[in-house]
Structure 1
Amino acid sequence: MDEQGTHFWYMVIYAVTSDGGGMRDFRGTFTPSPGSTRYDTFDLIKQKVHQTDPSTTGGTVMTFDIQPNVL
C-alpha cells in the first residue's frame, strides 16, 4: 500500500469552459505543515488542483472538506 497523507480531502469545482461548463471532483491525501490553517491548506490544495487541471482555473469551488485520514 502506498503511503498516504494524514488527511483526506475532496473538492468540487464548477468551471465554465468553451463547451459550456461543468463540475469536476478531485480528491487526495495531504499532510499539512505544523501550524497550517484550514485556509492555507485550502489555497494550497486549490493551487495543486489548478496545476493538475488548468481548465479549473477561475472556477468556483462548490465543496471542500478535509478530515483526518483515519477511521
Structure 2
Amino acid sequence: MPEGTHHFVMTVQKPQAGGYAVATWHGDFTPRPGSTRREVYEWLCEEHGRHFPDLARGVVLFFSLESNQL
C-alpha cells in the first residue's frame, strides 16, 4: 500500500482505575479532497477510539497533522 500524503500523531489520555491510561497513535493517510483539518481531526478521534476502545472519548493531549513529504 502506498504511503499517504499526510502523517499524524495523536496522544490521548483517559482516567482509569488507579490512574490514567495514555496512548500515542501515529500513521499516514490521504484525506479526501477538500477535507478540512477539523474534519480530519474528528475522523482521527473516532478512529483512535476504534483502535483503543479503552481510551474512546478521552482527552487529546497532543495532535499533529502535516504533509508527509519533506
TM-score (norm 1): 0.89
**Aligned partners of 1:41 and 1:22: how far apart in 2?**
24
What is the aligned partner in structure 2 of residue 58 from structure 1?
Answer: 57
**Aligned partners of 1:65 and 1:53: how far apart in 2?**
18
Q: CA deviation at 1:70?
A: 1.0
Question: How many residue pairs end up in the alignment?
Answer: 70
Q: CA deviation at 1:20?
A: 1.8
Partner SS, residue 39 of structure 1: helix
What is the aligned partner in structure 1 of residue 17 from structure 2?
Answer: 18
What is the aligned partner in structure 1 of residue 42 from structure 2?
Answer: 43
Q: CA deviation at 1:43?
A: 0.5
**Bigger mean CA deviation after superposition, 37-46 or 15-24:** 15-24
Unaligned runs of 5+ residues in structure 1 are none
TM-score (norm 2): 0.90
- Runs of 4+ with >6 A deviation: none
